[in-house]
Structure 1
């Protein structure tokens, strides 16, 4: 390790040399490699966390470049999966730590595999189905996680400590978390950075084992209109909460919540998952496509015919672009796959 690489961080007394030694032994999992995930990952990698796992189901597009700081025009041109583009860039920033990117859509099985030996999870997702699943997995395995959300100039963050704080399920009945999306209201990059500043600061406190410094409140802000609010939420913790209560059953880990189709946030795109685990041979898919435009890289295959475009991943997932209608997407899918 370079002797002075983390010297300025070590001079910050709450971390110090001892905290830095703790950081290098810790493992952070980030779900999502978009705006929030890319920013948080870079801060943690530069700060010297020992191991980082970043997971994302999508690939880089031109609309991402305005705020997703790890990605370049070349990534967008080649449609490189975000998890792999992030992994490559992060290794250039800090080659001394373990960094692994996974191209996958996380459901119960994937999350329960990924959470092993993780010290804290950062939420960088774009939908509440995944967040509720993440909430239940973290409660079940007693792993702290940090919620983050961003739209327009607004942002919010909250740290969940299993067994101590209210969980996301508790909060949904009391805190206005839902609402507009990036698709309807857009988003500005400074708001992204503000959210990740809160998330990463809270993560560092957990990783250096300074839980007394955690904010312990739900944070909300509007950068454009200069509003900043913190809410005390400790009283909303429910003893009968199905996710964190006395008799928790972790409802979002049940089969009925495991989705096979999903409309992607902010895009006219439907994702279709295979009914069971598989490895798709992209070369075979290419051979089966009689006409249309085909582009392929080591991670995915893109097929365009007229106004229709489908993207095939090795894990069997397919993104059907140009529609939010799940039935229409399935019909297009079956025309190609059978």
Structure 2
């Protein structure tokens, strides 16, 4: 329907040819939170042929402040985010095929989801999944767009396999201090700013305008009025195990994944992160103290988020008391400990 997309077609870098290309493309969105819902709506309104949304969570009241596809009814009935997003998106553009996947993204799931995908948009909230996305994208040669937000701060970067450094190459340049939206909060304007960068890059890729792609890692703090754009091209490493000359895709390996174990008879799940380096418990306690009462000593820290109690040890191992559901415990772990 030309009239639906007429203003987009009039934009000469897209035009009729670009619009026809969009109709043939398949975008995979990992995460249906703030970044995911906003990116999904833009892709659907733009006329992308198929959009797959993968998310493991359900709609909560705290989501409504920034996750634009959801309603009070969705929160009241605890509707899975992927399902609620699909329903809303289908009402926006019935020409687009929307696929909802209610699942935790693992290497096994990504190997299935990646089939036939032209672009991945990162809208998740934990680094484990981002590294799985990164290695999957490199293995199958699919471009992806990284995005992250917390507080008033956001980051974005576009990864093109065999051309740009991958996320593994840049790990030392990307802040990973453990802050999450549930511990440091988030304001909606930074969501929209990072989505604008992600979705613009997506449209460039999907319409074949690769020459217009941004080759930089960008960051913004919309509250303190700071921004940066770092040219990271020189950081591509031939020895990178994810995108180098002899890739092993380490984050698709079981040993590089977060492990969970239900402790028999204790209503407790133990979570062991992939990396076992010594944690700075004082630093973690300081971040958590803004939203919870934290107790700690040189060996461990503990805090409560009713009805759950968390205990974190120096090696990063965490006990989540109050549940024997490993998947739910993992969600709580990423929510509060990043």
Residue 46 in 1 paired to residue 45 in 2? yes
Shift of 1:176: 3.0
For structure 1, the 5+ residue unaligned runs are 263-268, 273-319
Match of 1:8 in 2: 7
After superposition, the Cα gap between the structure-2 partners of 1:21 and 1:260, relative to the gap in structure 1 and judged at 3 Å, is same
Q: What displacement does 1:255 show?
A: 1.4
Q: Quick one: distance in 2 between partners of 1:56 and 1:28?
A: 14
Aligned residue for 1:88? 87
Question: Per-residue displacement from partner, 1:288-320 (whole Å, max 9, x unpaired)?
Answer: xxxxxxxxxxxxxxxxxxxxxxxxxxxxxxxx9
Counterpart of 1:295 in structure 2 is: none
Is residue 180 of structure 1 aligned with residue 179 of structure 2?
A: yes
| CA displacement at 1:178 relative to structure 2 | 4.4
For 1:143 and 1:95, the matched residues in 2 are separated by 26
Cα contact 1:33–1:54 (8 A) shared by 2: yes
Within 5 Å, which residues of 2 pair with 1:286-301?
none
Match of 1:206 in 2: 205
Q: In the alignment, which residue of structure 1 is the partner of 2:25?
A: 26
Query: Unaligned stretches of 5+ in structure 2?
Result: 262-267, 272-305, 312-317, 327-338
SS of corresponding position for 1:112: helix
Paired residues of 2:238 and 2:245 also in contact (CA < 8 A): yes
- C-alpha separation between the residues in 1 aligned to 2:254 and 2:56? 20
Q: Provide the C-alpha distance between the structure 1 equivalents of 2:144 and 2:194, rounded to a whole number of angstroms.
A: 14
- Measured in 1, the distance between the counterparts of 2:63 and 2:237 equals 38
Distance 1:175 1:144 in 2: 19
TM-score, normalised via structure 1 length: 0.79
CA change 1:18–1:257 in 2 (3 A) is same
Whole-angstrom CA distance in 2 between matches of 1:170 and 1:68: 31
Partner of 2:128: 129
1-structure distance, mates of 2:25, 2:97: 10
Report the Cα offset of residue 329 of structure 1. Answer: 4.1
**Alpha-carbon distance, 1:182 to partner:** 1.2
SS at match of 1:169: coil
* Shift in alpha-carbon separation, 1:331–1:22, aligned structure 2, 3 A: closer
**TM-score, length-scaled by structure 2:** 0.79
Q: Matched residue pairs, number? A: 280
Structure 2 CA distance for partners of 1:216 and 1:270, relative to 1, 3 Å = farther
Matches within 5 A, 1:71-82: 71-82=70-81
Q: Give the superposition deviation at 1:132.
A: 0.6
